[in-house]
Every structure is written in C-alpha cells, then in structure tokens.
Amino acid sequence: MFKKIFISAITVFILSHSFAQQVEQTECDPNMIKNAGPSVDQAILQQRMNETWQRVSLPYTMRIQVVVFYKNSPTVNDAHILRNITNMANFYRPQNICFVLSDIEYVKDSAMADFNINNPNSLLSYTRPSYLTIFIHTDLGNGLNGTAYVIPNTYLSLVDDVVLSYSNISTMAHEMGHCFGLYHTFETYYGSENVARTGTCKNCETRGDFLCDTQADLSLPENFVNTACEYNGDALTSCGDETYLFETRNIMTYGRRSCRNIFTNGQGSRARDFILTETMLYNCIAPDILTISANVNYTGGIFSLTAKDLINVTGSSYNISGAAQMRMTSHAIRIGPGASFRPTAAGAIVSLKGNPNCD
C-alpha cells in the first residue's frame, strides 16, 4: 500500500535624468550582456509547446535553489528568503509562471560574500543543472542591488539588504525578469522607444524593451515618483514631443521600488516564450507529476526531486542511507512500500517539503 503524504510549506547609478541628477543605490548592473532579441525562434517555440503540454500544464513551474554567501555568520535566514520568494511568486502568478524551491544552502566564503560581479564564472560551480539559482551576497560593489549578468540567464545575484528589506519587495522579481528575457522599460541598448503607439513615431516593437503594452519611460531616481506612485516629471519624447507616461508600478522599471508590483501581459508572454525556447530555461521547468520507478541505492551525494503536483516513488527498492542527501519538493509526495530512508552520517538528510507557490 502506498503512503500519500500531503505537505504544507515548511520553514524549510548614479542615475541621470534630463532635468536632475541623483545618487542612489543602483537597482542592477547596467553592463549586463543583452542577448535577448525582439522575438524568439517561432519554430522552436511551436516545437517546445507541442512537447511541453504532454508533461506540464500552465503555470510553468520553475525549479529554484538559493545559495547564501557570508563572511562570519549569515546576515539573512530562511524566513527572509522565503518571504522574498513568496513575493516574487505573487508577482509572476498572473503571468502563469510559478516557482518551486528545492533548498537553501549557506556557504562561508568571504570572497564570494563581497563579490566581484566581473567574475561571474566563479559562481558556476554553485549552480545546478536544470535549476534557477539565486545567489545572495553581502556586497556586489558599485552600490548594486542585484544583477542577472546576462539576459537571458539561469542565475542572478542579490545583496542581502534587498532580502532584508520590507519596502523593496520587487528586486528579486526584477532580476528574475532579466533571466526570462525581459528588459528595463527604459532600455536603450537597441534604440530609444517613443511614447507613440500609433503613427509614424511608433517603434515599440523594435526599440526599447520590444513591448508595446509597457509604457516608454526613463531611468528615473526615486524622487521623481511620489509616495502615491505618481510620476511628477514632464520630460518629452524626441519624436512627437509627447510626455512620457511612465508606469511606476512596472517591476522592470526603476523609480520607487516600493511601488513596483505588476508585469504586463506582454511581459508575461515574452517571459514564457523565452522559458520555452531557451534550452537552459526550458530545462528548469519542473513536471506536474514525477514518477520514480527505478530501483536506487544512494549512500552518498546530493540529490533533489521537484514537481508541481506529485512525486510518486514506485520503485521496489528505493534506498537513501549513509551520507546521502535527498530533497523532495511537491504539493504531494507518495512513497511506495519499497522505499527506505535511513541517513546516518553527519549532514545527511531526507527532506520532504511542500510547494506553496504553485496553484
């Protein structure tokens, strides 16, 4: 007889503006490598959509892990991290993207805590195939809150102050947006976007963030957005002399971070398209149901199993013992009679966790 276990969540730029200049904490690295073009490969998109419907349904459930680097003692704890992941999940939920957290790892390493973002390759040994990785550091230099290094990508870095903050609840979602191929709403790398959405000045499909349902805006310091989240500037676009509208609540803008709480449908669609067409992101999608029928005998090593709805262990001999670490995360976990969990060595663990962030 199978035992079915339902598990609830366990604690488991100096910015320039045409009419002023301010110095404040920079949201993210302006020098990120920008590889995401205006659209994805439609043939790959159709192929992946045909493949994906057989094993997953919307929302796309993205596997994530968190690695915290610290010097003497951790400056953040599990509760801080889980609060931020919940906030991020709430922002992405309307866009049919959710997140399942495998584990949080704490690493004592002063060099990685005070991190040089110009050396991102040193992070790679801490990443895991088929997982998005969120790194947390004590400092990233140059007053940065975070960076995704490359657009798109499978890992990002944040400073601990972001994770500790109760007012800045959107930076994790902002950097994850870059991982999913989203640009700032004020992006100019591919050319400046005009305000116009009709007529000869319209260029929103080929300039800026390549999206027409996000307002063309500016890279603004916080004092140009009041506490009611209203833009109080009057800058004009170069084509048509139209006033920038500036959607202060968009997560991919700057301004007042406490205001940011929405993605547009266009941003959600673009993110899902990149998840499907970028193989590194596509591989991070967890299945709805994961069935483990093979017989295994793990006596050492680190293993993770994640699914949105169900992990079903059916093997007649599924043994976790000795120094092995096994983490299973899903809405429900069904353990067959052939399973044996007997970790005995220091640091060995079998962890069964719920998935509270995916409906």
Higher pLDDT, 211 or 19: 211
256, amino acid identity: R
Q: What does the DSSP assignment read for 91-108?
A: HHGGGTEEEEEEEEEEEE
3-state secondary structure of 37: coil
pLDDT tens, residue by residue, 132-171: 999 999 999 989 999 999 999 999 999 999 999 999 999 9
pLDDT at position 106, please?
98
Question: Does 5 have pLDDT greater than 50?
Answer: no
Q: Which of 32, 86, 95 is nearest to 59 (CA)?
A: 95
- Among residues of the chain, what percentage have pLDDT more than 70? 93
**Residue 295: Cβ-neighbour burial (10 angstroms; 0-12, 13-18, 19+):** exposed
Task: Compare 236 and 273 and report the one with higher pLDDT.
Answer: 273
Q: pTM, whole model, 2 decimals?
A: 0.91
Residue 24: pLDDT band (50, 70, 90) is low
**Does the structure show a pLDDT above 70 at 15?**
no
Residue 210 has pLDDT above 90, yes or no: yes
Q: What is the pLDDT of residue 7?
A: 39
Q: What is the DSSP string of 186-235?
A: T--TT-PPPS-SSSTT--TTTSTTS-SSS-------GGGB-TTS-B----
Q: What is the pLDDT of residues 247-304, one digit of tens each?
A: 999 999 998 999 999 999 999 999 999 999 999 999 999 999 999 999 999 999 999 9
The pLDDT tens digits for 324-359 are 999 999 999 999 999 999 999 998 999 999 999 998
Strand partners, 6: 332
Domains of the chain and CATH, by start: 3-8+287-353 (no CATH), 15-282 (3.40.390.10)
**Residue type at position 169:** I
